[in-house]
Structure 1
Amino acid sequence: MTSLPALRSPAPGPQAATPAAVHLDNVVKTYGTGTAQVTALAGVSLQLPSRTFTAIMGPSGSGKSTLMHVAAGLDAPTSGSVALGTTRISGMPERQLTRFRRDHVGFVFQAYNLLPQLTVSQNITLPLLLGKRSVDAAWFDHVIGAVGLSDLIHRRPQELSGGQQQRAAIARALITKPAAVFADEPTGALDSRTARQVLDLMRYVASGLQQTVVMVTHDPMAASYADHVVFIADGRIAGHLESPDIATITARMSQLGE
């Protein structure tokens, strides 16, 4: 397995002066109608600072994945507003929103979603090619060096380990220099050692590459790598935790019923 580059120490917790990269204002999200209606988000207001690493946690069914999907523009709020950086994405026409996500939002999922017929290099640069944008060679080299794949860019995904594939997925999320990178249980399919390597990388993405990272996780160990944790329960924000550690996260989650 290719070793990761030396990672910088975690950045300090977010400061009040840091501008918001993700802004939700009184967001409501419901599914269904009538007696079958379910409220997944019940008036959520949240600002996440730029260049920080935020973990979102909550019990099963709390609304944490819905929160991420709405914040990332994958799902539209029923009411309220959502902005990424200075761009309001709620209410944006679908075609325009699709282009905005492709060009300005990075995604990392539990499944790596790499195309087997493409090389690592082609998978990483795919969002640029789909957007008919040229590849910034210097940024490409910087990103693949940061994720530890410089010697593997001509291989295909099936020739990589699970951890290497996830690093390729992270590089793909970074290649457009996005407003924010959203990660949904990014270590869920990895063994504990590889998971820690990927979390080290996610930490470095925020502190070293100065990118905004938002990660949904159920794992206190994974959340402890973040600058801060946002807790959600019953579709509402249930608290925040700065400079988190595993014991404190676990205690807070137990209070929420997880």
Structure 2
Amino acid sequence: MTSFAPVHPQQVPVSQPALRLDNVTKSYGSGSARVTALDAVSLALPAQGFTAIMGPSGSGKSTFLHCAAGLDQPTSGSVWMGDTQVSALKPKARTMFRRDHVGFVFQAYNLMSSLTVEQNVTLPLLLAGRTADRGHVEQILESVGLSRMNRRRPAELSGGQQQRVAIARALVTRPGVIFADEPTGALDSRTGQQILLLLRDASRELGQTVVMVTHDPIAAARADRVLFLASGRFAGHLDAPTAGAIEKSLTDLGQW
């Protein structure tokens, strides 16, 4: 049994939650082949926080991200971003909501090779039929260290620089929540730490809410808190985490 306290919605500091899951369950298959990837998960995360989600392989991390971000529908329960019940939206409306209100940063940068840095960053605005605020775009590029690279194309950038473009793209729409899925997995240690600092700064200085799924205790230690999943349920949390405390918690979880 782990030594840290189980997470309940009221235990995570809440003031107008940016993200809330109420009793969310996600199952696949039917009958004897039915698999429950998330099992009655409830939590509320405040705005302007940086939260890492961790757990053993098969714990439900990816399913949590997909349901929380509106990429997948829960089998039961509800997902809220701000005052919008995302899980109640029809597929087209949910897609439009994600485009306007959710930012994504993945291990694969998913940049358009034919577009410049600036064009890649402003692409979500173009797809939404919105005019880019030049001052805001310049501020975002400056914040991620790309202000002098705005006319370069992805092939002219290092992996770390390409991930900076992905972060800038996630920031440009002023999303309610940014979801990062193993954002440093393809980067060397030093570059990965720079990317984590950018995500932390996005939370602390730009007021963004960041939720990161990772298997790396060193990466998770950059977050304000770590929430642990095991067998589809929340199993505990750490505030102001250290890599050592995270490793111990993961070891304990692996013995469940």
User: What is the TM-score normalised by the length of structure 1?
Assistant: 0.93
Aligned counterparts of 1:134 and 1:15: Cα–Cα separation in 2 = 37
Q: 2:243 aligns with which of 221, 243, 246?
A: 246
The question of 1:146 aligning with 2:114 is answered no
Distance 1:45 1:17, change over 3 A: closer
- The one-letter code sitting in structure 1 at the alignment partner of 2:47 is S
Q: 2:129 aligns with which of 129, 132, 136?
A: 132
The question of 1:91 aligning with 2:95 is answered no
Identity of aligned residues (%): 60
Contact 2:12 2:43 in 1 (8 A): no
- The one-letter code sitting in structure 1 at the alignment partner of 2:62 is S
2:118 corresponding residue in structure 1: 121
2:4 corresponding residue in structure 1: none
- The Cα shift of 1:168 comes to 0.2
2:22 corresponding residue in structure 1: 25
- The Cα shift of 1:178 comes to 0.1
SS at match of 2:169: helix
- The one-letter code sitting in structure 1 at the alignment partner of 2:116 is T
SS at match of 1:30: strand
Aligned counterparts of 2:136 and 2:227: Cα–Cα separation in 1 = 31
SS at match of 1:126: helix
The question of 1:257 aligning with 2:241 is answered no
Query: Where do residues 118-197 of structure 1 align in structure 2 (5 Å cutoff)?
Result: 118-197=115-194
Tell me how large the CA RMSD over aligned residues is: 1.2
Aligned counterparts of 2:118 and 2:174: Cα–Cα separation in 1 = 16
For residues 71-129 of structure 1, give each alpha carbon's deviation from its aligned partner in whole angstroms, at most 9, with x where no partner exists. Answer: 00001000000001111101211111000000000000000000101111110000000
Aligned counterparts of 2:103 and 2:241: Cα–Cα separation in 1 = 24
The question of 1:48 aligning with 2:67 is answered no
Aligned counterparts of 1:239 and 1:15: Cα–Cα separation in 2 = 11
Matched residue pairs, number? 245
Query: Where do residues 70-85 of structure 1 align in structure 2 (5 Å cutoff)?
Result: 70-85=67-82
Aligned counterparts of 1:179 and 1:99: Cα–Cα separation in 2 = 14
1:106 corresponding residue in structure 2: 103
2:196 corresponding residue in structure 1: 199
User: What is the TM-score normalised by the length of structure 2?
Assistant: 0.94
- The Cα shift of 1:211 comes to 0.3
Contact 2:14 2:45 in 1 (8 A): no
Aligned counterparts of 1:132 and 1:37: Cα–Cα separation in 2 = 42
Aligned counterparts of 2:51 and 2:183: Cα–Cα separation in 1 = 13
2:217 corresponding residue in structure 1: 220
SS at match of 1:256: helix
SS at match of 2:197: helix
- The Cα shift of 1:139 comes to 1.3
1:229 corresponding residue in structure 2: 226
Q: 1:37 aligns with which of 17, 30, 34?
A: 34
Aligned counterparts of 2:32 and 2:169: Cα–Cα separation in 1 = 42
For residues 183-242 of structure 1, give each alpha carbon's deviation from its aligned partner in whole angstroms, at most 9, with x where no partner exists. Answer: 000000000010011011111010111100000000000000000000000000001110
Segments of structure 1 that go 5 or more residues without pairing to the other structure are: 1-13
